[in-house]
Structure 1
């Protein structure tokens, strides 16, 4: 125990209570009395309280510390007696300062056995404080307790990290969250604002810079009342941390929602605008109908509604007009909800929905404007044809729905329905306007996606019709071909291929790519393929064929095209290769090595004014030729040389049947599917038995005998 001792030794200092405790705000004197009432211990606080230094007080009677009693034992003896008799006693006793002044003092006394040597016996420890200091603290505590219990104004104390440390019930009621549900949580979790973080910055400035704020109006929502906009008058002040208390922010909050209705409406308007901004950024990111519908459902939950569906009307013909006297059939393409079961099961129960005449859907489409309806028995009976589904709707917890038409370019595309639980406020007039804007934006995106899908289908149908379904099967050449159209997110291109059996026994292998996408590219591809097939039967050689195709491209107005043409003679094993800016031919030799041919030949078709050249090559019996388009070897973020190396590696393993090898190569190079049109043509060549070897430059080898094909 720190105290002054006989002999002049001084203890380290006065008693220090735990930081933040009440005793830290009240000076405490510590002294020890023996059974005879003499002072045995004298702390620094006792010197401050009574005015006597330790040398004067120690080992002397404590009677000098108290006024003289009229009769009987003095106060010091009575304190010792009560401590020894009761074990602990507290009370008020007048004391006298060294200067003679008398004041009231509060005492706590208790015995300590063995605190001194054995001869001294038991010592009574006394803790003493000025009575007015104790009264001040008690008064402040009583006032604070009454303030926190009865004050109708929200009171809060935050720590330096802006987390709740203390608050009153009035603030908890305003937030709709219990007091215990606040403690330790960040203010941003309870006071949810739509001001871009301005309120948070004000709080931070009070905590960091000590700048108080008085009467600032803040619009907010709380997790206890997520659908209720509130306006509060907020006053904030720094907690200085004096005497070791925790620093932070104190605050007073008053709900002035009714008084500040204009600010509340402005806050709600900002929320609606923010939702529209998010909708503009997140709806229509792709030209896919289902994805666009899903984006609309996702963007409105849970802020605007608790559940939503998007349905497209199944018109008998595109220009059909809405007839309110007929049932309306829709196809549900997206749905979602944050409500508990059975809400999710109800939304997923139907793919096709039939609305009977007289339904709320018919009422909405008759006016072309959004409609808000309360979900009750009448609504369920009129709108939901199935009795079981009607009962599920009533049991789902949905209290109101807002129905909006999806109208684009003057035609009804479908409907969207937003639902709110019965625990939330029903939709309001401004909500109808917001739904109209959301539906209008979504309808245009959906119609664009629908038109794009239609053009995609036309392009793909045209391209498939123009490509060979069963190319020629010439003698001594077996072939496997694959065409993968682009994904729905990318327009169909102009890739093409062909295998042409020529009258003199030779075989032409051709692959090409028209620049551009869509119907024009598919149509240009068809013209080039038909032209190439006709020219191959009459052209004197590959150079002449490419020259004719170049002229055809210029005449048709096609931008550019590439082409690789291989003319193979099975009687000699000789081939001539001509390229118009196309990727090179890859040849797998029977020993597994892969050779690249034709990589430096020609410019694309349509450039004009540049003669085409061809290169000769002698191909071994059993070699596999690979002709392909860039969709197979080009990928975003990958150099084309890496794609070519990967194709060479896969081709080196192509020793089995070509159909199986074609599938294996595509799976290895395009594991996630094609992002651009892709053609792969594999051809295994054989020599005709008894054939001779012709000079490579001779484009017209003799036909020595009838060819007989080898089995692949």
Structure 2
């Protein structure tokens, strides 16, 4: 037998010798209790003497090596047997003997000493009695401390734990196991993160790692958590952690005390959950309904819920077969899934995203929530599968997905059933609570209102677009003196129909009027006002009024009709003279392109928008030659976010100067370059090219005229 570590014997001169058969072992409990290591030969003489023995008895090695072991004890008992002889005899006879007896210090004082003796075979085959000796009072202190610690771990109502440097459980008491709802043996070797589910973004784990890495202790920190053993109960714990000393060879890590203060801190739990719900609602309110697009709104709802509120979510709108849109709980319900998302691994993505249309039989959980108008929470079990999921393959996907409970909320707004939204959670998360039902109802109400707004907007937009198309000219007037190309592009689906309009009007004597206008506003009112102005302008033009007088009459019409503002550009062209008379009521100026490619902006025609009243309109006259191209347009072509009107007119001028080909090709090229991503507002482009100057007596076009 050999103890590893420091040399324990010295020569008579007091010099350290090479390690003998006995070493003391550092880094153990012996470092906290003074232990003397000594050896006695067959003659009961001291043959080994360690540094601990010198500290305990006061003798240097040279003073006692080779002397009788009785030197270390008071006088022999009455029976004549010395203490040393008794130690050696019992050690040889029993193989191991433990005893407390008086010992003698070099200074003559007697002290209580505890001995452990046992025989050891030496290098030459001799038997040596090894004795381990410690002061009795120190042994009593250690025994008391150990007994206290054992009793503390067994009976303390406070949770006690020891973790390694990776925050894995090394030791814990029953009180902590009871808090977690999981047996002690199931903790050992596993990470604390497996048993403390928090929603603090990892802050609790970072705090523990900082303590384990040698940071300052944490005292009485409050943490809100749930455990897998009690998934339906929020707990508040007051936790204190401290780094282990790592003295000697003790393992690194940290110790901790955990107290369940849930009852005392219930207000904190409720406030924390309330803040989380309010924060989610606040973020959802900012994210849901940013557009009047049904699909975008549905995606926003899913993104607001996953993964913070649920592990998976879908939004489905009802596929109504007939009007009016009335829900009948006795009939199957067909929905169209327009948004889905999940944070779970496969096959969950296939479950939520692999189906476009879903049919629910009467009596399903979907029918229940639409009948009552209230959210419902249902477990994913055989009853739910039977009542709600028709297809066996879909039922198996739902089982394999890991979802264990579903929260179904109706999408109802203004008395109209829009559809449903479903939220799902896996077994790794707590089941939905009453507060979660309330939160889901708030989310669904917000989304339903936005979906209904989008639905109503789409209906109004369709009405306005239909009205606008009906009021715009389908076939423009033709003239032998002008070749015409026209384009009308409605704005994007996110922009309401505007009041842009245009016309080409035949006048007596082969003359032609070109008109482009824009009514301020959008939707049905703007479309109706546009139609009224177009019809009025056409009637006034055929009365052969001068352009400025025609705008005065239109201005009066705008004021009488209560139209807020409108712009109009009116051009009267006489092919007999080649002269064009222009009047402008606040509209973007026309452009004239000459055959040589030069482009002129006709921006010297004064005029305020229609509806202002009290201001005269002027008329400007220009000469047009064969091959000249007049360009009339609305602001949707030249104005956009980040670009002012002057910049847009400059871009149009550049495009008009550089085009080649037919007039139709020119119109297409201008739109392609100026509106590459499509128009964001209604856009009109009207191009008129002079083919030749005609005398009034000429009634038939020449070859090549349109």
Shorter-chain TM-score above 0.5 = yes
Return closer, same or farther for 1:223/1:475 CA change in 2, 3 Å cut-off.
Answer: farther
Whole-angstrom CA distance in 2 between matches of 1:408 and 1:634: 37
Partner of 2:284: 279
Partner of 1:514: 519
2:676 aligned with 1:671, yes or no?
yes
Report deviation, 1:250.
8.4
Partner of 2:357: 352
Whole-angstrom CA distance in 1 between matches of 2:703 and 2:352: 61
Contact 2:208-2:241 within 8 A present in 1 as well? no
Partner of 2:616: 611
- Residue among 281, 306, 309 paired with 2:311: 306
Partner of 2:423: 418
Partner of 2:120: none
Partner of 1:708: 702
Contact 1:487-1:675 within 8 A present in 2 as well? yes
Contact 1:581-1:602 within 8 A present in 2 as well? yes
Deviations 1:296-350 (A, max 9, x none): 1111112322222222223345544322222222222222222333332233343
Provide the secondary structure at the position in 2 that maps to 1:233. strand
- Residue among 476, 479, 486 paired with 2:484: 479
Report deviation, 1:66.
3.6
Whole-angstrom CA distance in 2 between matches of 1:404 and 1:359: 13
2:359 aligned with 1:365, yes or no?
no
Provide the secondary structure at the position in 2 that maps to 1:449. helix
Whole-angstrom CA distance in 2 between matches of 1:180 and 1:70: 50
Question: Equivalent residues in 2 for 1:444-463 (5 A)?
Answer: 444-463=449-468
Whole-angstrom CA distance in 1 between matches of 2:513 and 2:189: 83
Return closer, same or farther for 1:423/1:612 CA change in 2, 3 Å cut-off.
Answer: same
Whole-angstrom CA distance in 2 between matches of 1:684 and 1:169: 93
Partner of 1:504: 509
- Residue among 584, 600, 624 paired with 1:579: 584
2:62 aligned with 1:68, yes or no?
yes
Partner of 2:86: none
Partner of 1:387: 392
Deviations 1:615-671 (A, max 9, x none): 111123212222111111111122222222211111112222232332222222222
Partner of 2:548: 543
Report deviation, 1:477.
1.8
Partner of 1:193: 200
Contact 1:287-1:448 within 8 A present in 2 as well? yes
- Residue among 308, 325, 331 paired with 2:336: 331
Report deviation, 1:472.
1.9
Partner of 2:640: 635
Contact 1:327-1:355 within 8 A present in 2 as well? yes
2:685 aligned with 1:680, yes or no?
yes
Whole-angstrom CA distance in 1 between matches of 2:226 and 2:291: 34
Return closer, same or farther for 1:303/1:179 CA change in 2, 3 Å cut-off.
Answer: farther
Return closer, same or farther for 1:204/1:604 CA change in 2, 3 Å cut-off.
Answer: farther
Instruction: Provide the aligned C-alpha RMSD in A.
Output: 5.0
Provide the secondary structure at the position in 2 that maps to 1:504. helix
Partner of 1:625: 630
Report deviation, 1:494.
0.5
Bigger mean CA deviation after superposition, 338-347 or 464-473: 338-347
Report deviation, 1:398.
2.4
Contact 1:360-1:382 within 8 A present in 2 as well? yes
Whole-angstrom CA distance in 1 between matches of 2:499 and 2:208: 60
Whole-angstrom CA distance in 2 between matches of 1:35 and 1:620: 132
Provide the secondary structure at the position in 1 that maps to 2:447. helix
Whole-angstrom CA distance in 1 between matches of 2:152 and 2:676: 66
Question: Equivalent residues in 2 for 1:520-539 (5 A)?
Answer: 520-539=525-544
Contact 2:591-2:630 within 8 A present in 1 as well? yes
- Residue among 371, 379, 382 paired with 1:377: 382
2:565 aligned with 1:560, yes or no?
yes
Provide the secondary structure at the position in 1 that maps to 2:404. strand
Whole-angstrom CA distance in 2 between matches of 1:449 and 1:466: 25
Return closer, same or farther for 1:238/1:651 CA change in 2, 3 Å cut-off.
Answer: farther
Contact 1:577-1:598 within 8 A present in 2 as well? no
Return closer, same or farther for 1:238/1:69 CA change in 2, 3 Å cut-off.
Answer: closer
Partner of 2:123: none
Return closer, same or farther for 1:306/1:209 CA change in 2, 3 Å cut-off.
Answer: closer
Contact 2:507-2:544 within 8 A present in 1 as well? no
Provide the secondary structure at the position in 2 that maps to 1:563. strand
Unaligned residue ranges in structure 1 (runs of 5+): 1-27, 41-63, 74-95, 98-130, 243-247, 693-701
Deviations 1:436-482 (A, max 9, x none): 22222222221122111211111111111111122122213222222
Partner of 2:272: 267
Whole-angstrom CA distance in 2 between matches of 1:492 and 1:592: 35
Report deviation, 1:496.
0.8
Return closer, same or farther for 1:543/1:386 CA change in 2, 3 Å cut-off.
Answer: same
Return closer, same or farther for 1:454/1:241 CA change in 2, 3 Å cut-off.
Answer: farther
Contact 1:658-1:682 within 8 A present in 2 as well? yes
Partner of 1:85: none
Bigger mean CA deviation after superposition, 216-225 or 341-350: 216-225
Contact 1:174-1:255 within 8 A present in 2 as well? no
Whole-angstrom CA distance in 2 between matches of 1:482 and 1:180: 75
Contact 1:154-1:167 within 8 A present in 2 as well? no
Report deviation, 1:252.
4.2
Return closer, same or farther for 1:66/1:357 CA change in 2, 3 Å cut-off.
Answer: same
State the TM-score, normalizing by the size of structure 2: 0.70
Provide the secondary structure at the position in 2 that maps to 1:405. strand
Provide the secondary structure at the position in 2 that maps to 1:385. coil
Report deviation, 1:527.
0.6
Contact 2:13-2:62 within 8 A present in 1 as well? no
Return closer, same or farther for 1:167/1:364 CA change in 2, 3 Å cut-off.
Answer: closer
Provide the secondary structure at the position in 2 that maps to 1:193. coil
State the TM-score, normalizing by the size of structure 1: 0.70
Whole-angstrom CA distance in 2 between matches of 1:199 and 1:266: 22
Contact 1:156-1:164 within 8 A present in 2 as well? no
Contact 1:231-1:257 within 8 A present in 2 as well? yes
Partner of 1:403: 408
Contact 2:231-2:430 within 8 A present in 1 as well? no
Report deviation, 1:194.
8.7
Provide the secondary structure at the position in 2 that maps to 1:632. coil
Whole-angstrom CA distance in 2 between matches of 1:710 and 1:306: 70
Deviations 1:163-216 (A, max 9, x none): 978985659996999999979x9xxx9854399x999999999x99989743x4
Return closer, same or farther for 1:178/1:190 CA change in 2, 3 Å cut-off.
Answer: farther
Bigger mean CA deviation after superposition, 649-658 or 343-352: 343-352
Deviations 1:549-582 (A, max 9, x none): 1111111110010011122233333212211111
Q: How many residues are aligned here?
A: 592
